[in-house]
Amino acid sequence: MQPNPDNLPRHVGIIMDGNGRWAKQRGLDRWQGHTEGAKTFRRIGEHAADLGIRHMTFYAFSTENWNRSPREVAAIMDLFREYLTEARERKKENEEKQIRLRFIGRRDRLPADIIKLIEKVEKGTQECERFFINIALNYGGRDEIVSAVQKIALKVRNGEINPEDISENLFSDYMYTAGQPDPDLIIRPSGEFRTSNFLLWQSAYSEYVFTDILWPDFTNDDFDRCMEQYAGRNRRFGK
């Protein structure tokens, strides 16, 4: 059943979790689970765009994920290289579909070649306005808030901002997602019931849907069921 377009969230965040367990259940290496998870990411992103959702944020790699084994981290970085190279090659298709790609998170720890690819992909899609995809890479919600505080504090010290002028709206302007609506819905597959440091500021009034489906097994129908759950929620925003 197709979700009602009048009740769709404007912005959906997804914590892509369960790749490693998916691989373990099948006697495979963890990196093979990430490969399958990357396929799911592409498919769900295209499906969301077809439904009419305008903003998606995918949690791809956290600031804590560097603590995984060097082999697994290297395999994940190779997947990013593959995706970024493919995105550059699909530049014309992205322009036709009006898909804008943005990467949120700290870039200082990423390999230099990945940073260059990110910059080229972002530049190549910066004029697209139909569907916005944020990929959270080397991202942490607390780190994002600390970074925003540092930038605001620097402007206060330089006399560019008065402390009494600091508001929630101003603070939001220093988030990675500045200019985009906060997520209406965040989906967490894999059976875990935590936010894992994802969009902490932006998710103050987000609805959550938790499912025990591992991310590589997450289908378009599963996504549609999440949309149906969202449509049935009564969002009061504290009123």
pLDDT given at position 183:
98
- Among the options 17, 19, 94, 184, which is catalytic? 17
Residue 169 belongs to a domain = no
Residue 152 belongs to a domain = no
- Neighbour tally for 59: CB within 10 Å: 26
Residue 87 belongs to a domain = yes
Residue 135 belongs to a domain = yes
Classified as helix, coil or strand, 186 is: strand
Residue 223 belongs to a domain = yes
For residues 133 and 53, the answer to whether their CB atoms sit within 8 Å is: no
Per-residue pLDDT of the chain (239 residues; tens, 9 = 90+): 678 777 999 999 999 999 999 999 999 999 999 999 999 999 999 999 999 999 999 999 999 999 999 999 999 999 999 999 999 998 888 889 999 999 999 999 999 999 999 999 999 999 999 999 999 999 999 999 999 999 999 999 999 999 999 999 999 999 999 999 999 999 999 999 999 999 999 999 999 999 999 999 999 999 999 999 999 998 887 77
pTM above 0.75, yes or no: yes
CATH of the domain at 94: 3.40.1180.10
Q: Give me 152's structure tokens.
A: 């605001």
Catalytic, 29? Answer no
DSSP assignments along 105-160, one per residue: S--TTS-HHHHHHHHHHHHHHTT--SEEEEEEEEE-HHHHHHHHHHHHHHHHHTTS
Residue 1 belongs to a domain = no
Catalytic, 94? Answer no
pLDDT given at position 2:
74
Report residue 16: phi and psi, to 5°: -80, 95
pLDDT given at position 5:
77
Identify the domain containing residue 116 by its residue range: 9-141+182-231
For residues 199 and 141, the answer to whether their CB atoms sit within 8 Å is: yes
Domain count, the chain: 1
Q: Distance of CA 186 to CAs 57, 119, 126, Å?
A: 9, 27, 25
- Among the options 6, 19, 65, 165, which is catalytic? 65
Give the integer Cα–Cα distance in Å for 114 and 133: 18
